[in-house]
Structure 1
Amino acid sequence: MQPTIYLIPRWGGKIHSDWYDWFGAEIMERYGLSVIVLDMPNWNQPDVEESVNFLLSQISHVDKLTYFIGHSVGCQVVIRYLIARLGQDKTLEIGGILLIAAWFMVDRPWDTINPWIANKGLDYRSLSERVRFRKVVLSDNDPFTPNYAENKKLWVDRINASVTVYPQRSHFNSKAEPGVIEGFAEMIDQTIKTT
């Protein structure tokens, strides 16, 4: 069976934003795989419950060949969706998550981001136990999380993620982002070969 790959855009991002088209073309050329980029509802003002419910309605099947790529707030949607799925079925085995410009806190939060920063009651342990590959890609000059060392520590502590910090990539908004491909290659190499 072929892997299924979902990509969840950044805040205000559309299916063709930033590096998404480039990434899809690269993955097709290198691996012969397609990427499903989800067009999220009300994405200029993302709502936690609406976003998670949207993923629950769009993605009914998850297994060890299912992979998720999140960008910024998309990372938060991915982990909340997967925690919800694991709450329904604790035996799920999920292929992997690749989280780009991921955060648990931001330097200057605004009203509509505060619900995304709140994390009480989220079962991060289930992610570290049931998601086979957990990778976070950060930049050392992300304007939203200048304290990248603390951000990195949170991802390691909460979901036992492997974290790579790239120099001068800001919030990963360029048309091409090699660090994303490198993270994806690592995910595929580590999980497909052991499936």
Structure 2
Amino acid sequence: MASPRLFIIHGYTAGPHHHWFDWLKAEAEALGMTVTVPALPDSQHPEKEAWQTALTECVGEVDNQTWFVGHSLGCITALRYLNQQPAGQDAGGVIMVAGFSEAVPPLPELDTFMSVPFDANRVVQRVPHRAVIASLNDDIVPPVLSLRFSQQLNAPFYALPDCGHFLSRNGMTELPLVLQLLSQFIKE
């Protein structure tokens, strides 16, 4: 059996080595996972189609040993990718950090990512392990958006008290809850 694959999907203005991504990559590799953190194109001026194309080229076929951790805009990007997969190509799970599926008031430049709704029911039916993590003091994505996102995904909601938007400038260079959930999910 092939080792589990993890894809860490960064968000707006970020890249593969930002925030807690390198830490999670090293920790997941220590668990025996093959980890990829794709550099999505032009993260300062993201375009939905370009990000989907890049993810398609990077991930390829999905199976129950394929896992996704998304951050912010990377969450909806990962879920849209999963929506495109044919029947029988279902991921093992997703962990969404500071995710959202509706317009974020301070970031109208991201509205095109929300212009077509994603099929949450399809994700719920086809991806057995799902979790959403938010911070109650997130000053970029209001926590209520992440809460509604978790409800759409029928996913447990983990509200942390003081992590901001989970950025390195908020002191977030590690995110143990993601590793804890990932470890738990891959054992189930």
Identity value in percent = 27
Match of residue 128, structure 1, among 124, 131, 134: 124
User: In the alignment, residue 186 of structure 1 is paired with which amino acid?
Assistant: L
- Do the aligned partners of residues 101 and 56 (structure 1) sit closer, same or farther apart at CA in structure 2, a change above 3 Å counting? same
User: 2:187, 2:22 → 1: CA distance?
Assistant: 26
* C-alpha displacement of 1:93: 2.4
Which residue matches 1:61? Answer: 61
User: In the alignment, residue 90 of structure 1 is paired with which amino acid?
Assistant: A
Question: Structure 2, unaligned stretches of length 5 or more?
Answer: none
**Once superposed, what is the RMSD of the aligned Cα atoms?**
1.8
* C-alpha displacement of 1:94: 1.2
Matched, 1:116 2:113: yes
Matched, 1:176 2:177: no
Which residue matches 1:157? Answer: 151
Q: Could you tell me whether the CA contact under 8 Å between 1:23 and 1:176 is conserved in 2?
A: no
Moved over 3 A (4+): none
Matches within 5 A, 1:20-169: 20-29=21-30, 31-85=31-85, 89-105=86-102, 106-110=104-108, 112-120=109-117, 122-146=118-142, 148=143, 150-169=144-163
User: In the alignment, residue 108 of structure 1 is paired with which amino acid?
Assistant: P
Q: Could you tell me whether the CA contact under 8 Å between 2:4 and 2:32 is conserved in 1?
A: no
Question: Structure 1, unaligned stretches of length 5 or more?
Answer: none
- Do the aligned partners of residues 114 and 152 (structure 1) sit closer, same or farther apart at CA in structure 2, a change above 3 Å counting? closer
What is the CA deviation profile of residues 97-151 of structure 1, one whole-angstrom value per residue up to 9, with x for unaligned ones?
A: 11111122323232x211123343x2211100101111111000111233x2x32
- Do the aligned partners of residues 27 and 57 (structure 1) sit closer, same or farther apart at CA in structure 2, a change above 3 Å counting? closer
- Do the aligned partners of residues 27 and 91 (structure 1) sit closer, same or farther apart at CA in structure 2, a change above 3 Å counting? closer
Q: Could you tell me whether the CA contact under 8 Å between 2:100 and 2:145 is conserved in 1?
A: yes
* C-alpha displacement of 1:10: 1.6
User: 1:25, 1:68 → 2: CA distance?
Assistant: 15
* C-alpha displacement of 1:27: 2.4
TM-score between the two structures when normalised by the length of structure 1: 0.85
Query: What is the count of residue pairs matched by the alignment?
Result: 183
TM-score between the two structures when normalised by the length of structure 2: 0.88
Which residue matches 1:5? Answer: 6
User: 1:169, 1:5 → 2: CA distance?
Assistant: 23
